[in-house]
Structure 1
Amino acid sequence: MIDAPVSAQLVEAFANTVDVELGTDDLDTAKKLSDWLTGRGLLDRGRRVSADDHALALRLRAGIREELGANVGDTAEPGQLVGADEALRELPVFVTVRGGDRHSALTPDPELPPVRHALAGVAIAWSDLVVTGDAARLKRCAEHACAWVFWDVSKNRSRRWCSMRVCGNRNKARRYAAKQTATTGAGVPRP
């Protein structure tokens, strides 16, 4: 099994702050975003998150989730990707020869306010995944009722569901039922 790199773990955790199946959002308030960033060591405790910073984080998350859905064949919503790219432009990073906080050659712009500095850490993690090609292993579950983000440990990087036993089985059962309905005629029972 291939362990997810630290950058993938951070991006996965960020993307999974929204739970489609349960209808919950761990970042639905600025306070919750502050707590999440603090809990990951990206932001000092007690830092206030502005409404603008909160909106920026949500745009970044939405775009990352869309891109991860494309890794399982979903069509990404262009508006979400544009929004994330706009968010990234507000989180400038620099290249350094000494390595950044996450052993990357990138580091957040030191002039960024604390919350944006923290979000730039997420942006750097995403960048590391894209540059190394590991972003292809981070995927959003193809079961749209789930949409959980997971690290693909399959050898050929072909996994589509977070769990074959749950989401994969749901999908296969629906396809089988649709095939049976098509074979027997719409709603006409077989003799």
Structure 2
Amino acid sequence: MLEAPASARLIEAFANTVDVELGTDELDTAGGLSAWLADQGLLDRGRRVGAEDHALCLRLRTGIREELGVHVGDTADTALLAGADDALRELPVLITVRRGTGDGGAPSPALSPVPGLPPVRKALAGLAIAWSELTVTGEAARLKRCAEHGCAWVFWDVSKNRSRRWCSMRICGNRAKARRYSAKQAATSTGRPA
């Protein structure tokens, strides 16, 4: 089984802060965002998130979820993608030629938030870096939003050919197949082609 890299696990968790089925959103408030970023180790606990940073984060998440939900034959909402791109432009990242040593002599990555960013923007830039790593390596293609619109859960596709459409074939896949079967039966009983 192909294990998801840390960047994929972070983006998957970020995208899944929205639960379509339950109608919940962990990031619906600035306080919720602050707590979630702290839980992910991106922000010191108790750090306040302002309204502007909260809105920026929601634009980024909405665009990422939209991109992950594009299946064969679908078209993405370009306004949502543009909103996420605008959010990414507000989260500058420093790219270095080689890894160096950061605070305390620990190795620093080739991608890092621009020095001097306020703490919340630095945390959000961490999400931007994770997304960038996935897209540059092509691994973003393994992160998908479930094709069952009532679910829309984001999952890591472990199939060899990256063709999985549902987070769970047993639940969401069966729902979709049952609906198609019912529609076909209804069409057949009314004499219309399916």
Fold agreement, TM-score > 0.5: yes
Which residue type is aligned with residue 59 of structure 2?
R
Q: 1:125 to 1:76 in 2, by over 3 A?
A: same
Q: SS of 1:70's equivalent?
A: coil
Q: How far, CA to CA, are the matches of 2:78 and 2:10 in structure 1?
A: 24
Is there any run of 5+ residues in structure 1 with no aligned partner, and where?
A: none
Q: 1:68 to 1:103 in 2, by over 3 A?
A: farther
Q: SS of 1:160's equivalent?
A: coil
TM-score by length of 1: 0.93
| Structure 2 counterpart of 1:64 | 64
Q: How far, CA to CA, are the matches of 1:88 and 1:71 in structure 2?
A: 23
Q: How far, CA to CA, are the matches of 2:107 and 2:148 in structure 1?
A: 32
List structure 1 runs of 4+ shifted beyond 3 angstroms.
Answer: 71-74, 99-104
Q: How far, CA to CA, are the matches of 2:99 and 2:62 in structure 1?
A: 32
Q: Map of 1:38-187 to 2, 5 A cutoff?
A: 38-71=38-71, 73-96=73-96, 97-98=98-99, 104-185=109-190
Q: Map of 1:30-41 to 2, 5 A cutoff?
A: 30-41=30-41
Pairs aligned (count): 187
Q: How far, CA to CA, are the matches of 1:21 and 1:44 in structure 2?
A: 31
Residues 72, 140 of structure 1: 8 Å contact kept:
no
Q: How far, CA to CA, are the matches of 2:91 and 2:78 in structure 1?
A: 20
Residues 99, 107 of structure 2: 8 Å contact kept:
no
Q: How far, CA to CA, are the matches of 1:158 and 1:102 in structure 2?
A: 36
Which residue type is aligned with residue 154 of structure 1?
S
Cα RMSD (Å) of the superposition? Answer: 1.8
Q: How far, CA to CA, are the matches of 1:137 and 1:72 in structure 2?
A: 14
Post-superposition Cα deviations, 1:129-186, rounded to whole Å, max 9, x if no partner, equal 0000000000000000000000000011000000000000000000000111111117
1:102 Cα deviation from its structure 2 partner: 9.6
What percentage of aligned pairs have identical amino acids? 74
1:75 Cα deviation from its structure 2 partner: 2.2
Q: How far, CA to CA, are the matches of 1:74 and 1:9 in structure 2?
A: 25
* 1:17 pairs with 2:17: yes
Q: SS of 2:69's equivalent?
A: helix
Is there any run of 5+ residues in structure 2 with no aligned partner, and where?
A: none
Residues 69, 144 of structure 2: 8 Å contact kept:
yes
